[in-house]
Amino acid sequence: MKDLRHLYTLENYLQEANNDLVRQAQSEGRYALGSVCSQIPEPLLDLPNCFCVRLRAPRTGSIEMGTYYMSSILCECCRAILERAIEGGYGFLDAILAPDACAQMNRCVENIEHNHFCEKEGFFISYADVPMKCDETALKHYVKQMRLHILEPLKEHYGIDCSDTALRQAVEQYNEICELLTTLGDYRKEENPRITGYEYAVFCLASYCCPKDKLIPIYKETIEEVKNRKQDEKTGYRARVALIGSEVDDAELIRVIEEAGALVVADRYCFGSLPGRAVIDLSTDEDVLTAICRHYMVTGQCPRFMDTAKIQERQSYVDQIARDYKVDGLIYQQIKFCDYWGYERAHAFHVMRDQYGYPVLSIDRPYVAGSSGQIRTRVQAFCESLEVKRLKG
Ligand code: SF4
Ligand code: SF4
């Protein structure tokens, strides 16, 4: 297929946390707010005069210093982010808003704070608790935490407008991005998709790491381009898969999987669109902050939600995606030493295979997976097993 016009530009933006769009927004006087987890609602960080930047560590090489501070048995993603902070890669940030969701990421952020690795004037860090259950009591707690530890500090430090009107405006922008990405992502449901998993991941990832308003024209043009794009008759892919699991903040992982023969048509991971780019419903009588928190709590698919209802919901959600996107198999992946996804992956592997009947590949992987020969080999073997199954079928 012909290359997408904006793909290269977005690939370049993803090479750096402090990219051109971030710099542009800051030069307009807006504050860059770092986020480290999907459980801090993005609209709260995309209020007027500020914007959300989900932290990644693109082009990570050595993580020696991160490992020195955090030990070698903690998640490589956290160590890589700490390493990048030590190198000064987040010096542009005006704040980091971190949830008490993943203890390993919290250790990373605490190291940044105590060692003053982000030194911009006015920089601050705030921590907030987020729910582990999905019920009305948890929702009340969530709303209170977001008010006390996200909105109030933003108002106090930078005078950010946190009124209902401002929140509503942030949700409208968020929903616009979600609708555009859903339109683009729906092309992956086609028998011969007009967009690859890698391309889609680049577009989707950018929405987490760049000021959203700057991406809207790019997404609109890309949708038009994809609408008229002519697919190759022969794709060379041997199977369609859904990719599930912990943070995939580098589209190179998807490139490796696709080069090994499996087209990634569904992205159920942190930084993906399912359900990360579902629109927030503001049509109820609830105040805006409660509606935002309810959305994040109800749609959240993170294994940190540990109650039985949520565990079962995660499995049926994956089953629903698998049907909608007509996948041949599931790939569960987890960054090494991630506890939440370690348990989820081990459990879901059996449930999705034995109770739901899906072929499942289960991988634990390094943070930097773009050149992993082992992943390539395992995906190739998985594709082969799917082909054999089809022949027998
Ligand atoms: S997997 Fe869960 S805890 Fe980890 S970053 Fe994503 S939402 Fe947060
Ligand atoms: S991969 Fe797991 S351990 Fe690492 S930051 Fe994400 S949730 Fe935490």
CA 56 / ligand 1 centre spacing (Å): 13
- Establish if 40 belongs to a structural domain: yes
Q: Please give the pLDDT value at position 234.
A: 84
Helix (H) or strand (E) holding 331: strand 329-335
Phi, psi of 56 (to 5 degrees): -135, 170
CB 269 within 8 A of CB 389: no
Pocket probe for ligand 1: among 270, 332, 339, 344, the residue whose CB has the most ligand atoms within 8 Å is 270
The total number of residues shown for the chain amounts to 393
Pocket probe for ligand 1: among 247, 306, 333, the residue whose CB has the most ligand atoms within 8 Å is 247
- Establish if 379 belongs to a structural domain: no
The rounded distance, in Å, linking the Cα atoms of 56 and 14 is 9
Would you give per-residue pLDDT tens digits along the chain (393 residues)? 999 999 999 999 999 999 999 999 999 999 999 999 999 999 999 999 999 999 999 999 999 999 999 999 999 999 999 999 999 999 999 999 999 999 999 999 999 999 999 999 999 999 999 999 999 999 999 999 999 999 999 999 999 999 999 999 999 999 999 999 999 999 999 999 999 999 999 999 999 999 999 999 999 999 999 999 999 888 889 999 999 999 999 999 999 999 999 999 999 999 999 999 999 999 889 999 999 999 999 999 999 999 999 999 999 999 999 999 999 999 999 999 999 999 999 999 999 999 999 999 999 999 998 778 899 999 999 999 999 988 887
Spatial CA neighbour of 263 closest among 371, 370, 383: 383
- DSSP assignment string, 253-306: HHHHHHHTTEEEEEEEETTSSTTTTPPPP--SSS-HHHHHHHHHHHH---TT--
Pocket lining: 248 vs ligand 2, CB cutoff 6 Å: no
The rounded distance, in Å, linking the Cα atoms of 382 and 196 is 19
Helix axes 212-227, 197-209, angle to 10 degrees: 160
- Establish if 62 belongs to a structural domain: yes
Closest Cα to atom 5, ligand 2: which residue?
105
**Residue range(s) defining the domain that contains residue 76:** 13-158
- Establish if 69 belongs to a structural domain: yes
CA 39 / ligand 1 centre spacing (Å): 7
CA 99 / ligand 1 centre spacing (Å): 10
- Establish if 338 belongs to a structural domain: no
- Establish if 374 belongs to a structural domain: no
Pocket lining: 247 vs ligand 2, CB cutoff 6 Å: yes
Q: Please give the pLDDT value at position 389.
A: 87
Query: At CA 180, angle to CA 333 and CA 206, rounded to 5?
Result: 50
The rounded distance, in Å, linking the Cα atoms of 189 and 393 is 23
Instruction: Return the SS3 of 329.
Output: strand
CB 349 within 8 A of CB 332: yes
CB 233 within 8 A of CB 355: no
Laid out side by side, the sheet with 50-54 consists of 50-54, 31-35, 95-99, 124-128
Q: Please give the pLDDT value at position 308.
A: 93
The number of distinct structural domains making up the chain is: 1
CA 58 / ligand 1 centre spacing (Å): 18
What amino acid is encoded at 173 in this protein? Q
Q: What is the pLDDT of residues 194-240, one digit of tens each?
A: 999 999 999 999 999 999 999 999 999 999 999 999 998 888 899 99
Evaluated on CA atoms 336, 338, 342, 348, the torsion sign reads negative
Pocket probe for ligand 1: among 35, 39, 108, 341, the residue whose CB has the most ligand atoms within 8 Å is 39
CA 77 / ligand 2 centre spacing (Å): 7
Provide the CATH number for the domain around residue 140: 3.40.50.11890
Q: What is the pLDDT of residues 6-43, one digit of tens each?
A: 999 999 999 999 999 999 999 999 999 999 999 999 99
Q: Please give the pLDDT value at position 371.
A: 76
CB 232 within 8 A of CB 166: no
Whether the full predicted model's pTM is greater than 0.85, yes or no, is yes
- Establish if 6 belongs to a structural domain: no
Residue 217: is the preceding peptide bond cis (ω within 30°)? no
Closest Cα to atom 7, ligand 1: which residue?
38
Q: Please give the pLDDT value at position 245.
A: 97
CA 77 / ligand 1 centre spacing (Å): 11
- Establish if 23 belongs to a structural domain: yes
